[in-house]
């Protein structure tokens, strides 16, 4: 049984508080007030309400820390070296708006001080529809509810199941989309399957839990992947960008997998 730290308790409390209104809205999704932000990228009352609740709870518990918020942007802390909360209040908004129960609340802590500058030291991903809480702290392991997480032990691509995110043509050009389709074909040819579930935070949590053997996607934001990166690593997995560098958080281009499959997945994507 995992003993949650005070910090993880704070993050869990904020997630649960935000999820109450979110689940109420999900049950009445046809009445949800929605405005369009861009191609296939929506913002709803559920996003903004959840973000407001999370920020209130986190500020109360850790006054003076900064924020990087999907909807609210950057909020500086009282001290330039103060840690930063990286928050995605509703990852999988399009699923949510279509009544698909595949969405999550993602919160991470990004250190800014000299001793840990740029490192993710804590991360939580909460799936309100399934009541599944994933959490990790740097050097302390990753957990699902109260059970220790380990990435899958599969050793061959042919036995492995992968997840990905399909790029929207409105966010890039046709060449980017064609490149993705070639990657998709490469992985499909040598694996047991690919899933596109529509919530990157949950994809990474499921890699950490061994449900998926790997995940790749380009052009993600820090709030999409910060908590998930730590979860996968603390569960024994590897995370990199497409050049096998530790630059996924900065670039938004990510490849995550169990340690046996990671190199082979990268090789397959590069073909």
Contacts of 91 (CB under 8 A, 6+ apart): 103, 104, 105, 106, 199, 200, 201, 202, 223, 224
**Res 103: pLDDT:** 97
The hierarchical CATH code for the domain 6-148 is 3.30.540.10
What residue ranges of the chain are covered by domains with CATH 3.40.190.80? 157-270
**Res 48: pLDDT:** 92
Q: What is the C-alpha to C-alpha distance for residues 214 and 190, in angstroms, rounded to an integer? A: 13
Other residues' Cβ atoms within 10 Å of the Cβ of residue 165: 20
Q: What is the C-alpha to C-alpha distance for residues 72 and 135, in angstroms, rounded to an integer? A: 24
90 φ/ψ angles, rounded to the nearest 5 degrees: -155, 90
**Res 141: pLDDT:** 97
Q: Which of 139, 164, 175 is nearest to 268 (CA)?
A: 164
Residues 157-270, CATH architecture = 3-Layer(aba) Sandwich (3.40)
Q: What is the C-alpha to C-alpha distance for residues 103 and 32, in angstroms, rounded to an integer? A: 16
Own/partner long-range contacts of 179-185 (Cβ < 8 Å, ≥24 apart): 180/218, 182/271, 183/216, 183/269
**Res 170: pLDDT:** 59
What residue ranges of the chain are covered by domains with CATH 3.30.540.10? 6-148
pTM check: above 0.75: yes
Distance of CA 57 to the CA centre of its chain: 20
Give the end-to-end CA distance of the chain in Å, rounded to a whole number. Answer: 43
**Whether 54 contacts 12, CB under 8 Å:** no
**Res 116: pLDDT:** 46
Mark the ranges of the chain whose per-residue pLDDT is less than 70: 1-2, 36-42, 113-117, 169-172
**Res 115: pLDDT:** 45
Residue with tokens 């389709």: 181
Q: Give 236: exposed, middle or buried? Use CB within 10 Å, 0-12, 13-18, 19+.
A: middle
**Res 28: pLDDT:** 86
**Res 2: pLDDT:** 67
């Amino acid at each position: 049984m995992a003993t949650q730290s005070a910090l993880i308790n704070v993050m869990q409390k904020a997630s649960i508080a935000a999820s109450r209104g979110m689940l109420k809205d999900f049950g009445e999704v046809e009445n949800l007030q929605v405005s369009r932000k861009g191609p296939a990228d929506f913002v709803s009352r559920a996003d903004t309400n959840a973000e407001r609740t999370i920020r209130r709870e986190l500020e109360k518990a850790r006054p003076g820390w900064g924020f990087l918020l999907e909807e609210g942007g950057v909020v500086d802390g009282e001290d330039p070296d103060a840690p930063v909360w990286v928050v995605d209040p509703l990852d999988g908004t399009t699923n949510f708006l279509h009544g698909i129960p595949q969405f999550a609340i993602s919160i991470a802590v990004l250190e800014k001080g000299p001793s840990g500058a740029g490192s993710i030291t804590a991360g939580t991903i909460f799936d309100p529809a399934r009541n599944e809480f994933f959490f990790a702290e740097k050097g302390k392991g990753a957990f699902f509810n109260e059970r220790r997480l380990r990435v899958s032990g599969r050793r061959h691509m042919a036995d492995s199941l992968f997840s990905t995110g399909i790029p929207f043509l409105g966010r890039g050009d046709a060449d980017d989309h064609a490149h993705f389709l070639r990657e998709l074909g490469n992985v499909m040819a040598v694996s047991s399957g690919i899933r596109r579930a529509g919530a990157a935070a949950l994809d990474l949590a499921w890699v950490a839990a061994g449900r998926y053997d790997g995940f790749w996607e380009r052009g993600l934001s820090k709030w999409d992947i910060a908590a998930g990166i730590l979860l996968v690593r603390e569960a024994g997995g590897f995370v990199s960008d497409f050049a096998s560098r530790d630059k996924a958080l900065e670039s938004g281009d990510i490849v995550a997998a169990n340690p046996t499959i990671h190199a082979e997945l990268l090789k397959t994507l590069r073909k």
